[in-house]
Structure 1
Amino acid sequence: MSAHIIADDAEALAVAASLAAEFRPGASARDAGRRLPRAELDRMSASGLLAVTVPADHGGADVGARTLAEIFRLLATADASLAQIPQSHFAYVNVMRRQGTPEQREFFFAELLAGRRFGNAQSEAGTRHVQDIRTRLEPRPDGSYVLTGVKHYSTGALFADWIPVLARTGDDRLHVAYVPSDAPGLTVVDDWDGLGQRTTASGTVRLDGVPVPADRVLPHHLTFEGPQLHGALAQLLHAAIDTGIAAGALAEAAEFVRTKSRPWFESGVETAAEDPLLIQRFGELALCTKAAEALLREAARSVDAARADLSDDTAAEASVAVAAAKVQAARAAVEVSSALFEVSGTRSAADSLNLHRHWRDARTHTLHDPARWKIQHIGRFVLNGTRPPRHGLL
């Protein structure tokens, strides 16, 4: 596999905008038929977009958080499933940046620049809570390991070259094992049946005695022993996806009203786009979306600032800013994608139009982690100066 190497932030944004325009026309058909976007992901890999956070000293563009968030927002305006698939990819590139040895970074950054993709095998079902990771990484006499466990919601794994697996060792410490997708004992099951994000293939990964060389394991527990931006960056990308869903739904609603809707007979106007009550509602929805976009930019700025001067205080400020962006983005995505039908009228509810994909994607993606706890951490920080916890989900 070979890939273009993107030079800087400006080129990264231009490539993302071009890919979004390319992916948008087929998004509805892919969703309706649950046609998995392998060709589109190959285009994304070949474009170099998946390597834009590789450090400059390894040949990458090393783009900032603001650029990365905008990349995800642009992609999500076109296809929320496509935007979701590489979210974990960038999270685990970040783990490699922070915890990889020089040799590990040299190997994996070269893989990324060649267009290779990371998936994820992180979440587990049936455990006490999301942090209760029971997949085990058992040492062998030769220094290597064996992985055993079952993972769920493994977005990206089906399309990945490497699958980062979250697991605990005998001392209960958290590690990440980077496993090739064709490793013996590893099975990726395409059993995702979500009502939204239908083409993410966020199914099950089974690990039955998977062998892992010692040099493919990273001590992820060290990430949380000091100030960190792992959670802030991962959540920033989720916020960007929700913000993009809102913008995409708003644009499609406006196009539908301009070209297909009839005015209400009491309005006294010739076209639906002239209806003063619809104009008012579109203004409200635009404000909701623009607030999400503004908070997303501010959150990304905070992450970039903390990355340049990382401390407990800057990390906390970044996490709280990202939490605020995520809450507003989730609200905007659900409200705007639902209001699409309110402003567009009965004809917009036709199943053949598949306009409900925006709401289904929003409703599914915003369940990723509860906004109510983000509001709690925002309130604690503002009122009492309590820094948010270092658990990687904020």
Structure 2
Amino acid sequence: MTIHSSQLYQKAPIATVVSGLADQAGSDLPGALAHAEQLLVGASDADRDSLANLLHAGIALGLLSAFLSEASTYATTKTRHWPGSGYDRAADDPHLIARFGRFVSAVEALRALVDEAAALVERSSPDAARAAAVARHHSISVGSQFISSTIELLGASAVSVKLGYDGRWRAILDHARKHPPRGQLQPA
């Protein structure tokens, strides 16, 4: 689902908006960022930090999900097995399976955090700001920890510019740098 400007000012549930931004971010990051910034224009000062953290966590979720999908396909179809591993295909190597499993788990945890934060923001819960901040911080942690290590697993051919993984890596890290979490994450 792609969010169009005409939809921005309708009373769509925040979870729907965040899901749309996540979907859009995987293929059109500049468009998703522009929509997120437009959504923040009408937000009250009290809600702006929570909403910004939530929207940017959703965008990071979209970027990470798109990267994971592409990397999984590459790992199962193109990545060669490690010599001496005893496996005919890299996709059968327990080390690769475990590392991808950790990445999948981290992305799914981010999805759950984003969904929870969206529900709390929608209800104007006093816990919304913290939940959105936790989701945003987790999105940055997942992006910085797993992208580089996943590219490493895919092998030397994965760094080819024609595959675009370098662009995904750069988009995720640039998004974290240019749109840092707003507000401070305080202990519960």
Q: TM-score, normalised by structure 1?
A: 0.45
CA contact (8 A) 1:298 1:321 kept: yes
**Residue of structure 2 in register with 1:327 after alignment:** 137
- Judging by fraction of residues, say which structure has more strand: 1
CA contact (8 A) 1:258 1:273 kept: yes
- What RMSD over aligned residues (CA atoms) do the two structures have, in Å? 1.9
For residues 307-356 of structure 1, give each alpha carbon's deviation from its aligned partner in whole angstroms, at most 9, with x where no partner exists.
xxxxxxx3x41111100000001111222322231120010011232211
Q: Does 1:343 align with 2:153?
A: yes
Shift in Å at residue 88 of structure 1?
0.9
Q: Quick one: percent identity of the two aligned structures?
A: 27
Shift in Å at residue 369 of structure 1?
4.7
Shift in Å at residue 83 of structure 1?
1.8
Q: Does 1:238 align with 2:56?
A: yes
Q: State which of 20, 23, 32 in structure 2 corresponds to 1:71.
A: 20
Q: Does 1:294 align with 2:112?
A: yes
Unaligned runs of 5+ in 2: none
Separation (CA, whole Å) in 1 of partners of 2:156 and 2:106: 24
Q: Does 1:80 align with 2:35?
A: no
Name the aligned partner's letter for residue 326 of structure 1: R
**Residue of structure 1 in register with 2:6 after alignment:** 51
Q: State which of 53, 65, 79 in structure 2 corresponds to 1:261.
A: 79
Separation (CA, whole Å) in 2 of partners of 1:343 and 1:83: 29
Secondary structure, counterpart of 1:298 in structure 2: helix
CA contact (8 A) 1:243 1:330 kept: no
Single out whichever of 332-341 and 283-292 deviates more from structure 2.
Answer: 332-341
Deviant stretches of 4+, over 4 Å: none
Name the aligned partner's letter for residue 303 of structure 1: V
Larger Rg: 1
Give matches, 1:151-166, under 5 Å.
none
Identify which of structures 1 and 2 has the higher relative contact order when contacts are C-alpha pairs closer than 8 Å and 6+ apart: 2
Give matches, 1:1-394, under 5 Å.
16=1, 19=2, 49-54=4-9, 60=10, 62-92=11-41, 94-95=42-43, 223-224=44-45, 228-306=46-124, 314=125, 316-371=126-181, 376-379=184-187, 382=188
Separation (CA, whole Å) in 1 of partners of 2:5 and 2:110: 24
Separation (CA, whole Å) in 2 of partners of 1:286 and 1:73: 16
Shift in Å at residue 377 of structure 1?
2.9
Shift in Å at residue 272 of structure 1?
1.2
Aligned length: 188
Secondary structure, counterpart of 2:72 in structure 1: helix
